[in-house]
Amino acid sequence: MTSSDSVPFDDRGLAYGDGVFETVLLRDGAPGLWPYHRARLMRGCRTLGIEPPDEAALAATWQAPASGLEVLKIILTRGSGGRGYALPGTAEPRLISRRTPFAPATLRWRGVDVCLCALRLARQPALAGIKHLNRLENVLARREWQRKDIAEGLLADSDGNLVEATAMNVFWRAGGAFWTPPLDACGVAGTLRAALLARGVVAEAPLSLAELRSSESIEQLFVGNSVQGVWPVNTLTAPDGELLRRFLSASASPLQAAAHRLLGYSPVAGALLSGEKR
């Protein structure tokens, strides 16, 4: 296990996206939802057949004194070598990380506008759920809109099922409960989503795009992740700006409150907080 701030030409993370990553919220140097980040990283290693990093090396990525909020990004690649796609006989995985000061977009906690991306996620059960380095679909989807007032883009799979947003998971309220799509064919299983599932705040259910756009049982919609927290969705538009649907305002929702407790963020009250940042 090596650590540095760059990777060589023959690193398989660069060559093939052969690796996994994590993006972790640090608060005064302490990682939020760490057991979930660690578990997903290990699951990714098992899925790809990469030797997992030892605990000390992993913990060393965040064990340095700091104050305030940071985002820690950890990249673990299979390391160098191998003959083409064939694995190297003695792979030495490469662990690199970087910490960056961070402030969440708190104004978005009150509500955002999102678009529905035209790109459909391919269904690949062999890679579903893990946070691997093959993220071109997310990059292409994020290219679909440039308008600054669009905060995220929703993604459906090739069967027309809602899956996630480009960098967040998606949740909705129906029948008074909160739901999120199963991720057994594609999508990244976020750590905030995992923690909310584990606590019974949300449960898995499929949702087709047709239902998303027109079902009256969909009361509210949310996107969220372990770094930004939860954004209630006000409107869903096409990438060109056409309004597809308006949702009930859902700031100060029990889902958001539960999520923000997990992340150490203050609950969102009715009025604007001072110093809020979009």
Determine phi and psi for 146, rounding to 5 degrees.
-115, -15
Closest distance of CB 106 from a copy of itself, Å: 17
Closest distance of CB 269 from a copy of itself, Å: 28
The beta-strand segments (E) located in 141-205 are: 150-157, 162-165, 169-174, 177-180, 202-204
- 23 given a catalytic annotation: yes
Q: Which residues contact 113 (CB under 8 A, 6 or more apart)?
A: 149, 150, 151, 233, 234, 235, 236, 237
Provide the CA 59 distance to its chain's centre, in angstroms: 21
Catalytic residue among 61, 164, 180, 237: 164
First-last CA distance in the chain = 39
Catalytic residue among 23, 137, 219, 235: 23
How many residues belong to the site for a copy of itself (CB under 8 A)? 47
Closest distance of CB 264 from a copy of itself, Å: 21
Torsion region of 149: left, alpha or beta (phi above 0 gives left; psi -120 to 50 gives alpha): alpha
Could you say which of 2, 63, 124, 249 contacts a copy of itself (CB under 8 A)? 124
- 164 given a catalytic annotation: yes
Site for a copy of itself in 178-207 (CB under 8 A): 186
Could you say which of 1, 16, 174, 219 contacts a copy of itself (CB under 8 A)? 16
- Is 250 within 8 Å of 220 (Cβ atoms)? yes
- Do strands 177-180 and 202-204 pair parallel, antiparallel, or not at all (unpaired)? parallel
Could you say which of 27, 43, 99, 123 contacts a copy of itself (CB under 8 A)? 123
Closest distance of CB 75 from a copy of itself, Å: 7
Residues within the interface to a copy of itself (CB under 8 A): 5-18, 21, 48-49, 75, 77, 84-87, 96, 98, 119, 122-124, 126-127, 132-143, 158, 166-167, 186
Residues labelled as active-site residues: 23, 131, 164
